[in-house]
Structures are given as structure tokens and as C-alpha cells.
């Protein structure tokens, strides 16, 4: 499928609470705004239909899980059809009894499900106890040819791994989407907050440069309380970077729809002048599959 030269993307940056109906109503308003803004691709943040329940290991949180034909994906298909736009949405997938994934779906403008990606890299850090909930993805890194371009999807913790971005770009991805849920532990914000947010932005800009493609990072916002008085302040700041790593648009730390126009023709121009794919030493990289070489 031939890509259009220019495409408008919408990043839905929002809060999420414990009322799933209110979460969907909030998102529906954002979808409407994105559609009115002429978006051809609309992407949600990670796990947009629920609070970020991974702050603790709680068996009751599995109630947020749904099958791929459940209400959240049905909602996304309806929004895609209504907006006549490609939709990328993240949800907590119940694949089978006792088997769960952190999954993103890709839906075309007719509301048809094109496929899904299951998060490959699963963190296990204070406040981000995802290994308790999610089985690592088994669908590999994927790209979907759509009417709005060739799209690759990765999820949050995946954004720190150059291998994931590279393998997706090598399949022809013109745009890498990263639905995310990342924020500060409030007690660290003053001392480490600026460096953490800058590192998050820098690593994803580097994927855009190294692979000569666009990167779209969609983060959530708002303070969500955790156990024992702990909390996460999701910093928002969703952004779009072009193949030279330039930030085309960046959101605030508040709920909003961020729109950006991508000139997909820029990809070839940049790759001609920065021919990283041409000069890769594919004969010399076999050891990259090792855990450690020291």
C-alpha cells in the first residue's frame, strides 16, 4: 500500500480513574476533538481505559482485563469508524484463563481490526510491577500498511530498547508509535525529575534519528495514588519527532489532544543523506543476541 506524502496524527493525552465508563467518556471527547482536527491516525496512551493498576501487586486488578472482542476494543473500533481514521489503542488483554498481555490494537478507518502487538519488554520496578500482570509478547515486532502509512507499534518500556525500534523500522515502518504510562515518584521529582523526563525524550528522538523515521510518544497525565501513600505523577509531554530527531509538536503536563503533521516524503530525503541502513555491518552483529559479553 502506497503511503500518502502528508498525514496528520493525533495524540490523546489524558487522565484515567477507577470508573471505566468515565474513562471512555473522557476518551470519546478527545476522539471527537481529534476527528474535528482532521487526524488520519489517532493514538491513545497506554492502558487508557483504567488507572495504572501496576503500582502494586493486587489480584483484584485483574478485573480490568478484557478479551480482544471486549468493550474497550469495541469502543476503539467505533471511534475509528466514526472518525474515519486509523486508531491505535492500548488495553489489558485477557488471552486465556491466567494468561494476560499488555496489548495495542491497530484499527482501520472502517473499524476493522488489522492486528495487535503485545508488549515485549515488561518492567518490574517500584511502582511498575508489570511482571505480575503481563506475559511478555509473543507476536514479535510488527508493521501494518494502512491508508495513512506504514505503522509500527511498541509500548512504553519498549521505548528504551534500540533493538525494538530497529527491528520494527527494518520491516518498513514509517512511524513508530509508543503508547506510554511514565511519570515521577513524587519524592524523586525535585532531584531526578528533569533528568528522567529528558532521558525519556532523548532515547525516543534517537530512535527517530537512527532509523530515519517518525516517532510518536503518547503519555498519560495526572497523579494516581498507590499503596502506602505512594503515588505516580504521570508527566504527559507527549511528542512527535521527525527523522532528524526534531520535535515537531509537544504537549503540556495537562490533558489535551496534540496534533502534528508528518511529511512522510522526508524519510527518503533523510535516509539518502544519513544512510545508516546502507552502512550497517550486518555481518558483524551476530553477538547482539547474547545476554552479555563481558
Catalytic residues: 46, 119, 156
Q: Cβ contacts of residue 288 below 8 Å, gap of 6+?
A: 163
Report how far residue 68's alpha carbon sits from residue 76's, in angstroms, rounded to the nearest whole number: 11
Q: Return left, alpha or beta for 127; rule: phi > 0 is left, psi -120 to 50 is alpha, else beta.
A: left
Do residues 150 and 40 touch, judged by C-beta distance below 8 A?
no
Residue 225 CB neighbour total at 10 angstroms? 11
Residue among 140, 144, 191, 182 at smallest CA distance from 160 = 182
CB 130, CB 158: distance < 8 Å: no
d(CA 250, CA 273): 26
Amino acid at each position: 500500500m502506497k503511503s500518502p506524502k502528508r498525514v496528520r496524527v493525533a495524540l490523546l493525552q489524558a487522565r484515567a480513574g477507577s470508573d471505566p465508563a468515565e474513562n471512555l467518556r473522557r476518551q470519546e471527547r478527545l476522539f471527537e476533538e481529534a476527528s474535528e482536527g482532521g487526524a488520519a491516525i489517532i493514538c491513545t496512551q497506554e492502558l487508557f481505559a483504567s488507572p495504572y493498576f501496576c503500582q502494586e501487586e493486587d489480584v483484584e486488578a485483574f478485573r480490568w482485563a478484557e478479551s480482544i472482542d471486549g468493550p474497550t476494543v469495541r469502543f476503539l473500533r467505533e471511534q475509528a469508524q466514526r472518525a474515519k481514521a486509523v486508531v491505535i489503542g492500548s488495553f489489558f488483554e485477557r488471552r486465556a484463563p491466567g494468561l494476560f498481555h499488555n496489548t495495542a490494537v491497530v484499527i482501520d478507518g472502517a473499524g476493522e481490526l488489522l492486528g495487535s502487538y503485545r508488549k515485549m519488554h515488561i518492567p518490574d520496578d517500584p511502582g511498575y510491577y508489570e511482571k505480575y500482570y503481563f506475559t511478555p509478547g509473543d507476536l514479535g515486532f510488527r508493521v501494518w500498511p494502512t491508508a495513512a502509512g506504514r505503522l509500527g507499534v511498541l509500548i512504553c518500556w519498549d521505548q528504551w530498547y534500540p533493538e525494538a525500534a530497529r527491528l520494527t523500522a527494518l520491516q518498513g515502518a514509517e512511524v513508530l508509535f509508543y503508547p506510554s504510562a511514565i511519570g515521577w515518584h513524587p519524592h524523586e521529582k525535585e532531584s531526578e525529575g528533569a533528568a528522567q523526563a529528558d532521558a525519556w525524550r532523548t532515547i525516543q528522538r534517537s530512535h527517530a534519528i537512527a532509523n530515519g523515521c517518525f516517532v510518536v510518544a503518547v503519555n498519560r497525565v495526572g497523579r494516581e495514588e498507590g499503596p502506602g501513600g505512594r503515588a505516580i505523577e504521570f508527566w504527559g509531554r507527549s511528542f512527535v519527532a521527525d527523522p532528524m530527531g526534531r520535535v515537531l509538536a509537544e504537549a503540556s503536563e495537562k490533558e489535551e489532544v496534540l496534533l502534528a503533521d508528518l511529511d512522510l516524503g522526508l524519510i527518503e530525503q533523510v535516509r539518502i543523506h544519513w544512510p545508516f541502513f546502507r552502512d550497517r555491518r550486518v555481518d558483524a552483529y551476530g553477538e547482539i543476541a547474547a545476554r552479555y559479553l563481558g
